[in-house]
Amino acid sequence: MGKVVHFEVPADDMARASKFYADVFGWHNIPMPQMNYTMAHSGPTDDTNGMPQAAGFINGGIMQRKDIKSPTIVLDVPNVDAAVEKAVVAGSKVIRPKVKVGDMGYVAYVTDSEGNTIGVWETIPKAS
């Protein structure tokens, strides 16, 4: 089941957007200039791994507005390549092909049947 695991908010001015979400909603935002990205924590988060400390919320990010124009949900999938292929067969367009995100996972962006952008995320299993 593709549960929502992340969200992304595109912004023309990332600092301004970060301030807005912090001031209005109390988000704790962590700029990551090397990635041109800001991690957005919408609830209490473990400082060591960034994971939510309570049920009922997800974290996300603020990114520079480019090919993704509106807020986007990101869905967990077992395999990004398979999910993108299935979406394309169903009529989707690939907005942003699969990319590796550090040692955390892979993400790609496609359209749904209504033209909305959605992300698909595959977590890289941690070695035990």
Residues 64-92 pLDDT 10s: 999 888 999 999 999 999 999 999 999 99
Superfamily, domain 7-64: 2,3-Dihydroxybiphenyl 1,2-Dioxygenase, domain 1 (3.10.180.10)
CA pair distance 43, 25, nearest whole angstrom: 10
- In sequence order, the β-bridge partners of residue 64 are 11
**CB–CB of 120/81 below 8 Å?**
no
Structure tokens at 4: 């929502």
pLDDT at 48 over 90: no
Q: How is the chain split into domains, by residue range?
A: 7-64, 67-128
Q: Which two tokens stand for residue 125?
A: 């299993």
Can you tell me the distance from the alpha carbon of 11 to that of 29, in angstroms, rounded to the nearest whole number?
14
Share of the chain above pLDDT 70, in %: 99
Q: What is the pLDDT of residues 35-47, one digit of tens each?
A: 899 999 988 888 7
Q: What pLDDT sits at residue 52?
A: 79
Task: Compute how many other C-beta atoms are within 10 angstroms of the C-beta atom of residue 96.
Answer: 14
CATH architecture under which domain 67-128 falls: Roll (3.10)
Q: Do domains 7-64 and 67-128 have the same CATH topology?
A: yes
| Helix, strand, coil distribution of the chain in percent, nearest 5 | 20, 40, 40
Q: What is the pTM of this model?
A: 0.84
Which pLDDT belongs to residue 46? Answer: 81
Residues in the chain: 128
